[in-house]
Amino acid sequence: MNDAHILPNWLAHRAAVLPNQPALLADGARWTFAALDRWVSDMARNLLMRVAPQDRVALLLRNRPEFVALAHAAPRAGITLVPLNTRLSAPELAWQIADSGARLLFYAADTAALAEAAIAVVPSIPLAQADDQPQLLRRDFNRRQLVAVEIARLDDTRVPNAALRTTIDLAEPYTIIYTSGTTGQPKGALLTYGNYWWSAVGSALNLGSHADDRWLAVLPLFHVGGMSILMRAAIYGIPAVLHSAFDPAAVNRAIDEDGVTIISVVSTMLQRMLEERGDRPYPAALRCVLLGGVPAPQPLLEACAARGVPVVQTYGLTETASQVATLAPADALRKLGSAGQPLLPTALRIASAGIGEVGEILVRGPTVMRGYINRPDQTAQALRDGWLYTGDLGELDTDGYLYIRDRKKDMVLVSGFNVYPREVEEVLCLHPAVLEAAVIGIGDEQRGALIKAFVALRPGADATAETLDAHCRLNLAPYKVPRVYVFLDRLPKTTVGKTDKKQLN
């Protein structure tokens, strides 16, 4: 009877119990759970015409209803999704596509050029060697079989009547989401259905679950923060309200007119919403503003408190299917700068540190990922004795409230996106004129932070900020591109000869 990991397909369950309840609102269109359920089954059969169960399917899609249908089609077809960040450069995307071993890539008209550019680069990416990995984490198929399909070309009318899965095995892989580290290439974090399920349950037990809830999905669906909203909506039986891009006026309108009760945003979004809103109060029905990317700026929190905006700050990770800890609105100012306490299924501790001491944040529980695909060493380093070593530094106060002191050592959070200086530095060093480079984050009122680069050129070489900017734009997602350049003869060094970033600011 040890089948506690086999559940009925949750979207199908909701379609059976609440067939006429809205499931998805997007761009003026709406799907009930019954309608979404039918579309998803067609989509799953469509998938099975092109790939086999266990295959990986990459999505290069902005927020759009087809993303939602594909997200729910995956468990019925038995495939694993690889949602790609549409803001990445073609070389970055090519690397992730190749690493994931995806056999099929979906794109849309607005990502077609990017998809084409990425696909052209894929064959030049060397494959990682990782034969000692368990099967779920291993890429063991030929990336030359990659097929790209524009989502609008899918024809639902000719799908065969293939058998679909009716249950969801929580232990099975669901998504591979790439996350950059302080060193080397991005790593594909493998999340299971169970990771998302437990994350959704933990959030419901923390924030409550109301029959009239509607959750706004304006975060990108390729990000774990967006994807997890889709899962919660289906598991709770509530509508997801999908926005294709962040527009503060549209979000404010959705709160007024579409009955949105919960939104997930990062600080810069919330700031712009408040500015757009002016003096008009938010309706009481807006019961939770889940704010990622802690710590949030104090003036923003004070503005929200003054206007009665119920901000729930949260600390989350790709590797934990989003939320790990949250801070309730009542504590927002009392515990200023805190990420609150862990959600029920999750345990949290600070490695080798007492109360009030800073150490690495460790997380344990059923939301923790299976591992990084093709990266046995980094998986073994991240997952030890049942704990996830997050790389983030934090401390706990005497009440057990978490304070994040440094995210992944020198990670910079730009508009809610992680930027790892090392990655930018490596791209800068690829330019023939650059001898060495160091990158830091500097405060920015609107985006939280900006990237600032310190560069030493090779003797006799010639390069301007404009040259390097063009080089970076070709190789990096726009939010990773440095906005400020400082040219030095040489970078300051520590006594052991490493670049001394403490001297750079």
The yes or no reply on residue 138 touching its own copies (CB under 8 A) is: no
Residue selected from 226, 342, 391, 394 as contacting its own copies according to rule CB under 8 A: 342
3-state secondary structure of 382: helix
Q: Shortest Cβ distance from residue 419 to its own copies (Å)?
A: 28
Q: Shortest Cβ distance from residue 208 to its own copies (Å)?
A: 5
Q: What's phi and psi for 121, nearest 5 deg?
A: -85, -25
Residue that has been written with the tokens 């609107």 in this structure = 446
The yes or no reply on residue 295 touching its own copies (CB under 8 A) is: no
The angle, 0 to 180 degrees and rounded to 10, between the axes of the packed helices 465-475 and 90-100 is 30
Contact 295, 319 (CB under 8 A): no
Residue among 264, 223, 137 at smallest CA distance from 477 = 223
The yes or no reply on residue 400 touching its own copies (CB under 8 A) is: yes
Residue that has been written with the tokens 């899965």 in this structure = 165
| Positions 350 through 369 that interact with its own copies (CB under 8 A) | 364-366, 368-369
CA distance 137 to 255: 41
Contact 79, 105 (CB under 8 A): no
The yes or no reply on residue 347 touching its own copies (CB under 8 A) is: yes
295 residue type, one letter: P
Residue selected from 75, 78, 181, 371 as contacting its own copies according to rule CB under 8 A: 371
64-72, 102-110, 167-175, 267-275 -> range binding its own copies (CB under 8 A): 167-175
Q: Shortest Cβ distance from residue 173 to its own copies (Å)?
A: 13
Q: Shortest Cβ distance from residue 400 to its own copies (Å)?
A: 5
Nearer to its own copies, 117 or 136 (CB): 136
Nearer to its own copies, 341 or 415 (CB): 341
| Positions 217 through 236 that interact with its own copies (CB under 8 A) | 235-236
Residue selected from 8, 283, 299, 308 as contacting its own copies according to rule CB under 8 A: 8
78-86, 208-216, 431-439, 453-461 -> range binding its own copies (CB under 8 A): 208-216
204 residue type, one letter: A
CA distance 295 to 278: 24
Residue selected from 281, 299, 308, 386 as contacting its own copies according to rule CB under 8 A: 386
Long-range contacts for 25-32 (Cβ within 8 Å, ≥24 apart)? 25/214, 25/239, 25/240, 25/241, 25/242, 25/258, 26/63, 26/64, 26/65, 26/68, 26/241, 26/242, 26/243, 26/244, 27/65, 27/242, 27/244, 29/65, 30/239, 31/65
Nearer to its own copies, 400 or 478 (CB): 400
| Cβ atoms within 10 Å of 250's Cβ, excluding its own | 16
The yes or no reply on residue 211 touching its own copies (CB under 8 A) is: yes
Q: Shortest Cβ distance from residue 357 to its own copies (Å)?
A: 19
CA distance 74 to 44: 7
Q: Shortest Cβ distance from residue 426 to its own copies (Å)?
A: 30
Q: Shortest Cβ distance from residue 206 to its own copies (Å)?
A: 8
Contact positions vs its own copies (CB under 8 A):
1-8, 10, 13, 16-17, 167, 170-171, 194, 198, 201, 204-205, 208-211, 235-237, 341-342, 344-347, 364-366, 368-371, 383, 386, 399-400
